[in-house]
Structure 1
Amino acid sequence: MSGKSKLRRYRLILEYDGTNFSGWQKQVNVRTVQGDVLKGAARVFGEVPMDLQGCGRTDSGVHALEYVAHLEVAADMGPHEVARKLNETLPKDIAVRSVEAAGARFHARHNCIARSYVYQIRTEKSAFGKRYDWWVQADLDLPAMQHAGSLMTGMHDFAAFAEKKELKKSTRVLIHNVEVFKEKEILKIRVVGSHFLWHMVRRMVGIMVEVGCHRLTEEDVQNMLEDHSNALPSHHTAPSAGLFFEKAFYDSEGLAELLKE
């Protein structure tokens, strides 16, 4: 490819199975989604200047349904050709759902106003569920879980849910909504927030399951939200396999549409 190609920015929507990845963010000596997409882009465009930024971090083992990223690269290709060529070269556990031309000011993370995650739980064993849900061997009290989720809604200091290294920065997070609902045999928990701390959604889910098993009370949940000592037990963290990054929001209308559903 000619070195005279101008820098172009593309908006990518990616889908990935996070089972074999150490999260989104590129790291040394481990496989990550950002790292694999950059390798694929280098095969498509050649060794030219490029930058790839995602809408946020996802933890090791977490999946994504509509993960937004932007790719800035010296290229002359149209979006449809970029999508086709990336899909031809990327590994089978990453798919490019769509590619659009993006303005120079679009930033996948900085322009994102909210994100939603969905967690999948089964109370009956499935031969196909291990990679994509959490098998909880108990009868869950759904109304109790829904109420526990409602306690977490709003602006809270989630210091008790944070990693110790995150305590140097603000641990306040706005949770727009928490839903608990069933689709056939799968129990789903959707969490919509401005952003999330490391493992935060999985800890929220773990606590809600403890409430659903009647091992924690709603008062316990309230105390956790008021306790800023960073003392949440690790066993309250749900496994990563059941967690899916669902959607990134870039305008208030799209966010409002989801919240009123």
Structure 2
Amino acid sequence: MKRYYNLELSYDGQNYFGWQKQKDFETVQGTLEATIKEMIGSNFIKSIGSSRTDTGVHALANICFLQLPTEYTPQALMDNLNNNLPKDIRVTRCERTYKQFKVIYFAKKKSYFYLFKNLPQEIDSDYFTNITTPLDINKMKEAAKSFEGLHNFSNFCYKASPNSEKNKEIFTCKIIENQDILTGHNREGSYALIVEGSGFLKQMIRIIMGTLFNIGMGKVEIKDIEEAFSTTDFRKTGFITPGGGLYLKEIEFIRDPFKGHSVNS
């Protein structure tokens, strides 16, 4: 009898080539599945992540749908996983669910933040990005508002599938100053780009951040963002910033993945 669970996962992305499993690279999903297969002695498992974070990107709360051939109580499954997974991947919540729970399509809002600093010395970090060139933060704040609303983000993504939906709604896009959102790894005092939206294209937030960096350095104007929205012809306004500064904060669903569901024998 198949059993179904929803997991909430936090992970440090620096050692992984993103969420989605790949044949020749270590990923979060691949590590999770390999750990479970060894733990239960079976290959008959299935996992689906709500957000497919990119290489080096971190998560505070990614949600994963899990199908197992073995019965566990949610607490026992969480404890067993945390005892066997690498320390940079943690299960923070676990609950039974049902076969039809669509962990991708039931997501209604995803929240991310990107940490950066603006210090004159070179700093290499897997947890934030430092821009040594002086930035006009106030101008960046103004420009960030341009991304709010429903727009065609064709010019703010990387090699999106031709059939993918390019129109995305951004509910919040703002920069907050000198925030200690996370401590450790010298992250204290970072600026943070906060982005909340209905969904995101490949590397979209990192290109938005790169665009705002260019705005802050005077290389791009706010009108260039508006022009990039108004055409599907290629318009380069930003660059792809390093993945280490990006964090998936949380995902909100139209159906609560941790409400709890009865499992029929």
Offset of 1:201 from its aligned partner? 0.4
Q: 1:145–1:61: structure 2 CA closer, same or farther, 3 Å change rule?
A: same
Aligned-residue identity in percent: 27
User: For 1:43-54, what aligned pairs fall within 5 Å after superposition?
Assistant: 43-54=38-49
Distance 1:247 1:212 in 2: 28
User: CA distance change for structure 1 residues 9 and 169 in 2, over 3 Å: closer, same or farther?
Assistant: same
Say what the alpha-carbon RMSD is for the aligned residues.
2.1
> Which residue pairs with 2:173 in the alignment?
178
| Partner SS, residue 36 of structure 2 | helix
Structure 1: runs of 5+ lacking an equivalent: 1-5, 254-261
Distance 1:167 1:161, change over 3 A: farther
Question: How far is 1:104 from its partner?
Answer: 2.8
Residues 200-239 of structure 1: matches in 2 within 5 Å?
Answer: 200-232=204-236, 236-239=239-242
State the 1:251 CA deviation. Answer: 3.4
Q: Aligned residue for 1:244?
A: 247
Q: Note the C-alpha offset of 1:52.
A: 0.4
Give the TM-score, by structure 2 length: 0.86
Segments of 5+ residues of structure 2 without an aligned counterpart are: 181-188, 257-265
C-alpha separation in 2, matches of 1:252 and 1:190 = 24
Q: Please, which moves more after superposition, 222-231 or 37-46?
A: 222-231
The aligned residue for residue 258 of structure 1 is none
TM-score when normalising by structure 1: 0.88
C-alpha contact 1:48 1:73 (8 A) present in aligned 2? no
Which whole-Å CA distance do the structure 2 matches of 1:195 and 1:230 have between them?
Answer: 21
Provide closer, same or farther for how the CA distance between residues 77 and 200 of structure 1 changes in structure 2, counting only shifts above 3 A.
same
Q: Which deviates more, 47-56 or 197-206? A: 47-56
CA distance in 2, matches of 1:13, 1:126: 37
| AA in 2 matched with 1:198 | K
Q: Does 1:193 align with 2:197?
A: yes
My pick for the range that moved more, 156-165 or 182-191, is: 156-165
Identify which range, 124-133 or 45-54, moves more after superposition: 124-133
| Paired positions, count | 247
Q: CA deviation at 1:21?
A: 1.0
1:121 counterpart SS class: strand
Q: Distance in 1 between matches of 2:110 and 2:224?
A: 26
Q: Helix, strand or coil for the counterpart of 2:107?
A: coil
Paired residue secondary structure (1:247): strand
